[in-house]
């Protein structure tokens, strides 16, 4: 009997090894191509910071007037466009697949940036920002979805975090190009989506979508291409098929909100996006120029270098997160990130309390250090992980619709925090506002400890089965919806 058990275990280990074997080169290549979409997202996110001051200083005959109100709309309309695009992105990806969605997403990037570059009035600039916002919603959904679906369980955290790494690099690229004339800036950044669209013509569709689309032969060919021609893909392909064995149709909206195994992952994903945006990241970035000015960075060149320093730190520590996430797990990194961010926000609020309310003197070092620590902590955890979770937690049948909804909520939360931040400061105070953000950051620890299941080392199919098992148990009267949540 013991020998028989040992043989069974040996067979299982052999199958597991075959499951993960294969060349990693194709996965890295196809993921790298897809992450160019995230870089495109970063370029349009970072565009307004250098472009608005350049437009305000433009004295040429074809200059466009940009005052405080216009500058606010240039920044916020990107999020509004994203909110519109999020719903369409989910529907499009459900019907036409991940590859087609990626290719189509590049078109509004290119069109919107061209419209901004050749604008003759402020309304053309507004329209360009809305159009690029729609493109941003498409790539924000398709990039983490595609990368997650083609990755092995041992690489999914690393490659999935590449989405946020691409975004931060795109922001850095926009800041670095900030010395160009403002009409040249969007033209230069438009090269990224052009390369992205062309490269996506050569990537395969994900096997998950092809099986969902009832194309098993094409799915087998796709998976073989992703894993390498000498890899045994049979067990992995069977795992994907088994996850859809009960129902091969995409989930309806009614199913999404009535099925606990879909509804709970959707809730966890939306909550992660809420915590990300209401942690105060956009408001910290809003203040960083002021903080550097009070710290002695007075000239345009010095402020330019300061912006490169901040965006460069985001790139560096997001890259560190990519290397850590599959070793530490999502929960540990997210909890650590939230704790450090909470302390940084408390210190940042204390700076405003002591400097402006109690006039305690020069405490610029406190503002500068707390801001830097906050950005590092955000880049390590709360920046990349919510996007990884969205692609990991939501079951395949609901991934397109739910992913579009989660993306829409993320951009809605970003719009609210960006647009209403100053009103909140006016209604309370700067220190109270940042202390409130600190409270949200502390909540991240509770989310990671009590709600989030650990997904490190699990295939997407195993994660889906985890939620389905709890749903089946609940249908027998043995569990409540809260029982689905505890980490395992």
Q: Which residue reads 């099986």 in tokens?
A: 211
- Most confident of the ranges 71-75, 107-111, 351-355, 369-373: 107-111
What average pLDDT does this structure show over 285-302? 73
**Buried-state track 129-154, b at ≥16 Cβ within 10 A, e below 16:** bbbbbbbbbbbbbbbbbbbbbbbbbe
Residues 170-209 have pLDDT tens digits of: 999 999 998 899 999 999 999 999 999 999 999 999 999 9
Residue 486 has pLDDT above 50, yes or no: no
Q: How far apart are CA 226 and CA 205, in angstroms?
A: 10
Side-chain-side CA neighbours of residue 307 (13 Å): 24
Q: How far apart are CA 154 and CA 367, in angstroms?
A: 39
What spatial distance separates the first Cα and last Cα of the chain, rounded to whole Å? Answer: 30
What average pLDDT does this structure show over 296-316? 84
3-state SS, the chain, equals CHHHHHHHHHHHHHHHHHHHCCCCHHHHHHHHHHHHHHHHHHHHHHHHHHHHHHHHHCCCCCCCCCCHHHHHHHHHHHHHHHHHHHHHHHHHHHHHHHHHHHHHHHHHHHHHHHHHHCCCCHHHHHHHHHHHHHHHHHHHHHHHHHHHHHCCCCCHHHHHHHHHHHHHHHHHHHHHHHHCCCCHHHHHHCHHHHHHHHHHCCCCCCHHHHHHCCCHHHHHHHHHHHHCCCCCCHHHHHHHHHHCCCCCCCCCHHHHHHCHHHHHHHHHHHHHHHHHHCCCHHHHHHHHHHHHHHCCCCCHHHHHHHHHHHHHHHHHHHHHHHHHHHHHCHHHHHHHHHHHHHHHHHHHHHHHHHHHHCCCCCCHHHHHHHHHHHHHHHHHHHCCHHHHHHHHHCCHHHHHHHHHHHHHHHHHHHHHHHHHHHHHHHHCCHHHHHHHHHHHHHHHHHHHHHHCCCCCCCCHHHHHHHHHHHHHHHHCCCCCHHHHCCCC
Q: Which residue reads 């959904």 in tokens?
A: 141
Give the global pTM: 0.85
Q: How far apart are CA 409 and CA 131, in angstroms?
A: 18
Q: Which residue reads 């053309």 in tokens?
A: 124
pLDDT band at residue 4, thresholds of 50, 70 and 90? very low
Residues 116-173 have pLDDT tens digits of: 999 999 999 999 999 999 999 999 999 999 999 999 888 888 998 999 999 999 999 9
What average pLDDT does this structure show over 238-257? 77
pLDDT band at residue 248, thresholds of 50, 70 and 90? low
Angle, helices 364-377/330-352, rounded to nearest 10 degrees:
160
Residue 9 has pLDDT above 70, yes or no: no
What average pLDDT does this structure show over 298-309? 83
Residues 403-444 have pLDDT tens digits of: 999 999 999 998 888 878 878 888 988 889 999 999 999 999
- Of residues 445 and 457, the one with the higher pLDDT is 445
């Amino acid at each position: 009997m013991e020998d028989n058990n040992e043989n069974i275990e040996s067979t299982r280990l052999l199958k597991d090894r075959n499951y993960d074997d294969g060349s990693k080169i194709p996965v890295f290549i196809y993921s790298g191509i897809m992450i160019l979409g995230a870089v495109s997202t970063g370029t349009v996110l970072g565009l307004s910071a250098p472009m608005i001051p350049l437009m305000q200083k433009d004295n040429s005959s074809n200059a466009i007037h940009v005052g405080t109100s216009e500058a606010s709309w240039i920044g916020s309309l990107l999020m509004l466009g994203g909110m519109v695009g999020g719903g369409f992105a989910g529907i499009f990806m459900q019907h036409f697949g991940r590859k087609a969605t990626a290719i189509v997403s590049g078109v509004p990037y290119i069109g919107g940036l061209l419209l901004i570059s050749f604008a003759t009035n402020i309304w053309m600039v507004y329209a360009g920002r809305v159009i690029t916002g729609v493109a941003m919603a498409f790539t924000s959904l398709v990039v983490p979805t595609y990368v997650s679906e083609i990755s092995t369980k041992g690489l999914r955290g690393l490659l999935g975090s590449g989405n946020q790494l691409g975004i931060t690099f795109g922001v850095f690229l926009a800041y670095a190009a900030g010395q160009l004339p403002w009409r040249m800036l969007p033209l230069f950044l438009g090269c990224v989506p052009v390369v992205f669209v062309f490269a996506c013509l050569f990537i395969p569709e994900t096997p998950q979508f092809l099986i969902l689309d009832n194309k098993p032969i094409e799915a087998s060919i796709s998976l073989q291409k992703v894993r390498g021609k000498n890899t045994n893909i049979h067990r992995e392909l069977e795992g994907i098929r088994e996850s859809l064995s009960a129902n091969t149709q995409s989930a309806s909206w009614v199913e999404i909100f009535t099925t606990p195994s879909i509804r709970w992952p959707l809730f966890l994903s939306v909550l992660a996006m809420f915590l990300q945006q209401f942690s105060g990241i956009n408001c910290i970035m809003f203040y960083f120029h002021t903080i550097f000015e009070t710290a002695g960075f007075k000239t345009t060149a010095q402020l330019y270098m300061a912006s490169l320093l901040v965006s460069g730190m985001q790139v560096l520590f997001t890259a560190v997160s990519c290397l850590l996430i599959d070793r530490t797990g999502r929960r540990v990194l997210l909890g650590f990130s939230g704790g450090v961010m909470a302390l940084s926000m408390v210190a940042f609020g204390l700076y405003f309390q002591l400097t402006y309310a109690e006039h305690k003197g020069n405490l610029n070092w406190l503002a500068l250090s707390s801001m830097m620590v906050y950005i590092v902590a955000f880049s390590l955890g709360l920046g990349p992980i919510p996007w990884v979770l969205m692609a990991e937690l939501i079951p395949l049948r609901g991934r397109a619709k739910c992913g579009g909804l989660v993306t829409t909520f993320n951009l809605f939360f970003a719009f609210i925090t960006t647009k209403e931040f100053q009103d909140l400061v006016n209604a309370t105070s700067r220190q109270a506002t940042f202390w409130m953000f600190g409270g949200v950051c502390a909540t991240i620890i509770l989310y990671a400890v009590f709600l989030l299941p650990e997904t490190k080392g699990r295939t997407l199919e195993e994660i889906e089965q985890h939620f389905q098992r709890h749903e089946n148990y609940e249908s027998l009267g043995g569990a409540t919806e809260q029982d689905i949540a505890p980490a395992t």
